[in-house]
Amino acid sequence: MFGAIPLLIVPFVLYNLGLLGIFGGGDDPWASQMFSIRMMSGGVFSMTLGDLMVLIGLLLFFVEIVKSTRTTNASIMDHLLSTFVFVAFLVEFLLVKGAAHSVFFTLMVIALVDVLAGFSVSMRAATRDINMG
């Protein structure tokens, strides 16, 4: 049952928790620096909370793509719920002031690509299963 839950709901929920001030106050919580590391080149690598959110979204997107290769009844529900997650991203992006941010937009695009890739990969895998049988 848990295999049908789209993992990209996690960054959606985390972003909304950030809007509520869970990760700190200020005008832009996503610009707050998490850490920085001095590199051997002399440059400084720094990661913001927004960068971390996008990284989490990309890692979960990878897991979603791997999940979409399954051809089970749960995968159909997963695709449907992934579509709902994308629609939630889109509606919030259009209607909520705090969602008009590049981090949220990037997460929304990741959710869109998840929906498109999930359906494409599943259709390809289903076609291969039909040809083999």
User: What is the Cα 72 distance to its own chain's centre?
Assistant: 22
pLDDT value for 132: 56
The per-residue pLDDT for range 63-97, each reduced to its tens digit, is 988 887 776 777 778 888 999 999 999 999 999 99
Confidence of residue 4 (pLDDT cuts 50, 70, 90): confident
Read off the pTM.
Answer: 0.87
The dihedral formed by the CA atoms of 61, 59, 6 and 11, expressed in degrees to the nearest 10 = -110
Burial environment of residue 11 by CB neighbours within 10 A (0 to 12, 13 to 18, 19 or more)? buried
Q: Pick 68 or 38 by higher pLDDT.
A: 38
Q: Residue for token digits 């920085």?
A: 36
The per-residue pLDDT for range 116-127, each reduced to its tens digit, is 998 887 777 666
117: nearest Cα among 67, 42, 52? 67
Mean pLDDT, the chain, integer: 87
